[in-house]
């Protein structure tokens, strides 16, 4: 059921990437939602200050008004406070423990990077699993080994959960990733146009949605 409900485009609002481009998270979130995004992950890898929490709170309110799912990366406590979904990595709190913090009704995702991790994650109380990086990515300092497009069909067969592909996926490769078996595509870099304005981000989001229908 969730495989049909999880949007095909899964935008990730990466605060570090935005800071390097001189843009604020709320500005970017507004543009993504205006472009039609129906899920949005807030990715803050550095210290989660009070100011950053207030920013996340504002983005959560924007998502609620737009009817979009809001997801916090890594932090089960903040996800619970904001009544948000949660996405966990391999080095974060275990999904079983995070579920105790979140409760049964909130969206929970879990990142995997190879077949062994993907199979092991089937025993976790996660609603969807992510696999990646599919291609070379610049969003992580120490990325896991590249998964490769050609391995998605085999990985798809290892889990009944919705499978979100992530890592270096662009508009040029999006359809091939979906054809290979991914249910959704998580995107950071290719949602950032060369010139970041409300209009260009909105147009880029609309283009991604058309490509992933």
- Are the beta carbons of 37 and 65 closer than 8 angstroms? no
- Are the beta carbons of 152 and 167 closer than 8 angstroms? no
| Percent of the chain with pLDDT strictly greater than 70 | 95
pLDDT over 70 at 32, yes or no: yes
Q: What's the structural domain count of the chain?
A: 1
Please give the mean pLDDT across all residues of the chain: 95
Range of the domain at 6: 2-211
Predicted pLDDT at 137: 73
The two beta strands, 184-187 and 85-88, are unpaired
Length reported for the chain: 213
Reported as half-sphere exposure (CB side, CA atoms, 13 A), residue 102 has a value of 27
| Percent of the chain with pLDDT strictly greater than 90 | 92
Angle separating helix axes 198-211 and 25-34, nearest 10 degrees: 50
Q: In this predicted structure, which of 10-14, 82-86, 139-143, 174-178 has the lowest mean pLDDT?
A: 139-143
Residues 101, 77: Cα–Cα separation, whole Å: 7
pLDDT over 60 at 2, yes or no: no
φ, ψ dihedrals at 94, nearest 5°:
-60, 140
- Are the beta carbons of 116 and 131 closer than 8 angstroms? no
pLDDT over 60 at 1, yes or no: no
Give the CATH number for residue 162: 3.20.20.70
pLDDT in tens, 116-165: 999 999 999 999 999 999 998 765 666 778 999 999 999 999 999 999 99
Is-above-0.85 flag for pTM?
A: yes
First to last CA, the chain: 18
pLDDT band, very low/low/confident/very high, at 4 (cuts 50, 70, 90): very low
Predicted pLDDT at 154: 97
Predicted pLDDT at 3: 45
* Section 36-63 average pLDDT: 97
């Amino acid at each position: 059921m969730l495989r049909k409900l999880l949007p095909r485009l899964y935008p990730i609002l990466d605060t570090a990437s935005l800071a390097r481009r001189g843009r604020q998270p709320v500005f970017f979130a507004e543009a993504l939602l205006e472009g039609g995004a129906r899920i949005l992950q807030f990715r803050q890898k550095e210290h989660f200050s009070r100011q950053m929490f207030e920013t996340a709170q504002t983005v959560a309110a924007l998502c609620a008004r737009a009817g979009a799912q809001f997801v916090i990366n890594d932090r089960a406590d903040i996800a619970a406070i904001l009544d948000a979904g949660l996405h966990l990595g391999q080095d974060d709190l275990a999904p079983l423990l995070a579920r105790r913090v979140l409760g049964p009704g909130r969206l929970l995702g879990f990142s995997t990077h190879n077949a062994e991790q993907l199979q092991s994650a089937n025993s976790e109380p996660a609603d969807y699993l992510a696999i990646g990086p599919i291609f070379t990515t610049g969003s992580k300092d120490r990325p896991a080994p590249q998964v490769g497009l050609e391995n998605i069909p085999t990985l798809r067969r290892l889990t009944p959960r919705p499978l979100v592909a992530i890592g270096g996926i662009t508009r040029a490769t999006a359809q091939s990733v979906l054809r290979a078996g991914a249910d959704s595509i998580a995107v950071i870099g290719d949602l950032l146009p060369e010139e970041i304005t409300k209009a260009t981000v909105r147009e880029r989001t609309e283009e991604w949605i058309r490509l992933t229908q």
